[in-house]
A and B are shown apart, each in its own frame.
Chain A
């Protein structure tokens, strides 16, 4: 396969296994490109991309912007805090206004689940979902799988545990879809209040004990507790959370095998993982960030190649 089956990247849910393989093969080429003395290719010089961030982001926004610039696309940035959205403009109006300035692709982060899907039905541009509420964050899941593939040689058959706030995490949902699609085994681990009720229907097992989960897995993806999305208290105290679900060096070293530690960032050091775990040689957190640029270049390149002139 040399073409994606979709015209937008709205979620992993809409992708086929072959799409993920194509994205990874293309990302391999871009990873070589971004390690050259001159890290730029001219492919997308006639494409304009708008980055619309209706929610705060540092890493994802920078990563997308860098990916777009390394492909030579023209980039415009927009953040909701300093825009007419505050004056009451609707999403379609905002985007239509931007598109009338001849924009080919929109990368959007939005606090409402499904915002990207809604937009893709109403505007004529390629949409990349950079996170929509607690729904999906497809490029993060792709770069996580890509990092596992790079570190362990493949994703199929690997055992991955996702630890922490599964309920509010778009990273968890996209990762579950991506890992299952590629044939990995997935467990989730966290306080019962932060595990969605019907999680088993996704083919995922729940393991309430962190040590058991870590003994089972090849890779542990440690998620952040998303306090900003919590309307009520889901666990008694941060101290209790750390004791039950925080990963420290002593526990990591006491495991019977060396597992890979991942984190989508931003890290709350001392909560979900301690500093010495985050900085240990088992953590591939900074590799994830570097791979993020290559994977996003691949996604944008492949989607742009479907925009006909």
Chain B
């Protein structure tokens, strides 16, 4: 099993700042916007972006939530291993808000499809955008594209893209792993 580094810690940091700035361009003071991290891996990126917005760009009270999509997935009873649920934590109303979905890797687009259904249980958002750190292009099963994108990567299906975070794996880095 070989693996190569796609992004190192410095590159991840630059990209996070660029993504934060692109969000500010579109959402100014985030008064009517909410950030939603997609469970399980999207929450780390969402927390990072929200931290940069608050600490380095002095935006107050960024609304941040976590959305679990397990019960909305289209592969229930189809995948070999059982689906494990995670916590959903959205303690605000998304009705009429501008929602930004945040996930680490965009691959087939099926998770985002599920998230689009799941978020409706919390109200009718004004609009929904998608921010991803890695976009595995040419591997989409659905017509879903990111609005904000860290890095595009061409990878074959046998490869796996794994994002490491300081909080969890002890380093910020993105790897492409050959199974």
Write out, one digit per residue, whether chain A residues 270-309 have a CB within 8 A of any chain B CB (1) or not (0): 0000000000000000000000000000000100111111
CB distance B76 to A43 under 8 Å? yes
| Contact A2 B84, CB 8 Å, known A33-B71, A42-B72, A309-B77 | yes
User: Using a Cβ–Cβ cut-off of 8 Å, how many residues does chain A contribute to the interface with B?
Assistant: 26
| Contact A29 B83, CB 8 Å, known A38-B121, A41-B72 | no
Give the contacting residue for A42; candidates B71, B83, B85, B87; CB below 8 A: B71
Complex Cα spacing A309 to B70, Å: 18
CB distance A26 to B85 under 8 Å? yes
B88 — nearest CB in chain A belongs to which residue?
A32
B95 — nearest CB in chain A belongs to which residue?
A37
Q: Is B82 engaged at the interface, CB distance under 8 Å to the other chain?
A: yes
CB distance B122 to A3 under 8 Å? no
Complex Cα spacing A305 to B77, Å: 5
Q: Is A239 engaged at the interface, CB distance under 8 Å to the other chain?
A: no
User: Using a Cβ–Cβ cut-off of 8 Å, how many residues does chain B contribute to the interface with A?
Assistant: 20
Complex Cα spacing A162 to B76, Å: 39
Q: Which residues of A contact B120 (CB under 8 A)?
A: 38
Main secondary structure on A side of the interface with B: loop
Q: Is A40 engaged at the interface, CB distance under 8 Å to the other chain?
A: yes
CB distance A29 to B68 under 8 Å? yes
Shortest beta-carbon distance, A70 to chain B, in Å? 10
CB distance B85 to A307 under 8 Å? no
Write out, one digit per residue, whether chain B residues 70-110 have a CB within 8 A of any chain A CB (1) or not (0): 11100011100111111110000000000000000000000
Complex Cα spacing A306 to B82, Å: 8
Shortest beta-carbon distance, A19 to chain B, in Å? 13
Q: Which residues of B contact A197 (CB under 8 A)?
A: none
Residue among B78, B82, B123 having the largest count of chain A Cβ atoms under 10 Å: B82
**A-B residue pairs, 3 tightest by C-beta:** A41-B71, A38-B121, A29-B85
Q: Which residues of B contact A (CB under 8 A)?
A: 68, 70-72, 76-78, 81-88, 117, 120-123
> 12 extra interchain contacts, Cβ-Cβ under 8 A, other than A29-B88, A33-B121, A37-B121?
A2-B82, A2-B83, A29-B68, A29-B85, A32-B87, A32-B88, A41-B121, A42-B71, A42-B117, A71-B71, A305-B76, A309-B78
